[in-house]
Amino acid sequence: MTSIKAFELMEELAEHGTAPSTGCALFGVGYEDAYRRLRDKYLLGRFERGRSAEKFVIGPFGSGKSHFSRQLMEIARDMGCVTAEVQLNKDLDFAQNLVIYREVVRAIRPPYGEHRGIRALLMAALDEVRRRTESASEAVRDQLVNAWVTGLESADFELELFGQVAKRGLEALIRGEVLVFEAACRWLGGEVADRQLARDLCLTSVPREEQRRHGRLALLSLFQFIRHAGFQGTVLAYDEAEQGLSVDRRKEERIHSLLQSDINAVTSLKNGSVLILYAFTPDIVSRMEKFPALAQRIADPSVEHGFFDGNTFAPRIDLTRRGNQDPAEDLRAIGHRLVDLLYEEEQDRLTVSKVQVLERVTQIANEIVEQDITTSNRRTMVKLTATVLSRLYENGQLIEPPKDMGSWIEDEV
């Protein structure tokens, strides 16, 4: 799943306690049933029918929204899905569809490899088509691949030009025409207002008043192209919405209207196979509930029929509603998994017995719950445990955390 070393992961977690860009599945605990259900219902069942959906991962700052999304994306990549994560920070205008499309394309990641972006996707798509024809002779395989590329022009994409430009780019890639391939990549990457680029591709540039519509259709076409290439589907995660959606009331209403429209378009998309995850804090959801049309889309059937009540189709995955899970047991499981991970790789180097370390981690979990430092106890547990393990790895010392956990985070990390 990932080649990251355990001690490197500990260092990264000790610094911030935030979910790493890769490796979340190595120490993710507590949501096994949720991932199983999402995998079966969406990444398998719905994706194989070419259908799409959206989920709203809800929780306060530090509750594990990023980790939840990233671990699901790791699961998806192992199943042959393309993934992308977009940070909705203050520099990204969520009301501009073309801007969002560019960010998605920049972050798009094929399942087999570390490279991102439209170039990587086009090359991976060609490799995927070839892989699916590997039982044929070389001559027949080339014919089948060329036929697939040619057929892109007549494929039923939401944006007709998407297939045409993808066809031209892949034909250029096959022939080794680097400049034409790069031009097609730039256009598919969202540079549709560049007049010279448009002329090079025998197209017309997209005027400003058409760019919002173009961005939406291009994004839907991107999902369709990924499925058309033979990948299982796409998982797209929007994170850090507490920054990007903290705008004035007029713009917020505009974003809510666009979000509702985008959700409807994704839900009705044919042959797209995408699961979109929106990571929202409770205050953002509360504001959305004041927009009636959008509120209907994000509402659960009832209080008793939420995602963690067993209703996999519920739109909200509220990380604060996990039944009767013992908070201390939850934190202990996180800490123990991190200990296991380090000892699995570095047991010969570590001089303190694993039993002692597990006892120390259990102590940390119990005291975090007793002190109730913040609402982000999971992040606190990860940060403190990773700090203990990093020190253990570096100098062999099992440090003793003081009673005031909050001060230890500030002074030691």
Reported as a single tens digit per residue, the pLDDT across 38-94 is 999 999 999 999 999 999 999 888 788 999 999 999 999 999 999 999 998 777 888
Residue 405 predicted with pLDDT over 80: no
The torsion angles phi and psi of 78, rounded to 5 degrees, stand at: -65, -20
| CA dihedral over 249, 255, 261, 264, signed as positive or negative | negative
Domain count, the chain: 2
Structure tokens given for 147? 């036929």
| DSSP letter, residue 235 | E
Structure tokens given for 197? 């680029």
Residue 411: per-residue pLDDT:
43
Claim to verify: residue 313 and residue 338 sit in the same structural domain: no
Claim to verify: residue 381 and residue 309 sit in the same structural domain: no
Q: Of 262, 286, 318, at which residue does a domain stop?
A: 318
User: Which residue from 118, 38, 124 is spatially nearest to 73, judged by alpha carbons?
Assistant: 38
User: pTM of the entire structure?
Assistant: 0.90
Q: Of 266, 293, 318, at which residue does a domain stop?
A: 318
Are 348 and 375 spatial neighbours (Cβ–Cβ below 8 Å)? no
Residue 314: per-residue pLDDT:
94
Claim to verify: residue 267 and residue 379 sit in the same structural domain: no
Claim to verify: residue 392 and residue 339 sit in the same structural domain: yes
User: Which residue from 391, 402, 333, 324 is spatially nearest to 367, judged by alpha carbons?
Assistant: 402
Claim to verify: residue 306 and residue 369 sit in the same structural domain: no
pLDDT range class, residue 197, cuts 50, 70, 90: very high
Claim to verify: residue 159 and residue 178 sit in the same structural domain: yes
User: In this predicted structure, which of 12-26, 47-61, 257-271 has the lowest mean pLDDT?
Assistant: 12-26
> Angle 8-112-141 (CA atoms, 0-180°, nearest 5)?
160
Residue 198 predicted with pLDDT over 90: yes
Residue 15 predicted with pLDDT over 60: yes
Supply the range of the domain harboring residue 336. 327-412
Claim to verify: residue 195 and residue 107 sit in the same structural domain: yes
Residue 247: per-residue pLDDT:
74
How far is the C-alpha of 72 from the C-alpha of 111, rounded, in Å? 13
150 versus 375: the higher-pLDDT residue is 150
Radius of gyration of the chain, Cα coordinates, nearest whole angstrom: 23
Residue in this structure with the two tokens 């594990």, named with its chain if needed? 64
For the chain, what is the mean pLDDT?
Answer: 89
Residue 276 predicted with pLDDT over 50: yes
Collapsing DSSP to helix, strand or coil, 57 comes out as: strand
Q: What is the mean pLDDT of residues 124-150?
A: 90
Claim to verify: residue 291 and residue 333 sit in the same structural domain: no
Residue 232: per-residue pLDDT:
97
Helix crossing, 208-228 with 118-132: angle to 10°? 30
Claim to verify: residue 222 and residue 370 sit in the same structural domain: no
User: Which residue from 241, 242, 254 is spatially nearest to 294, judged by alpha carbons?
Assistant: 254
Are 145 and 207 spatial neighbours (Cβ–Cβ below 8 Å)? no
How far is the C-alpha of 103 from the C-alpha of 84, rounded, in Å? 9
412 versus 95: the higher-pLDDT residue is 95
Q: Which of 22-26, 62-66, 176-180, 318-322 has the highest mean pLDDT?
A: 176-180
118 versus 292: the higher-pLDDT residue is 118
Please indicate, yes or no, if residue 256 is contained in any of the structural domains: yes
| DSSP letter, residue 158 | S
Claim to verify: residue 151 and residue 62 sit in the same structural domain: yes
What is the distance of C-alpha 249 from the center of its chain? 28
Claim to verify: residue 230 and residue 184 sit in the same structural domain: yes
Alpha helices in 23-117 (DSSP H): 24-27, 32-38, 47-48, 65-78, 97-107
Q: Of 266, 287, 318, at which residue does a domain stop?
A: 318
Claim to verify: residue 239 and residue 300 sit in the same structural domain: yes
Query: How many CB atoms sit inside 10 A of residue 324's CB?
Result: 4
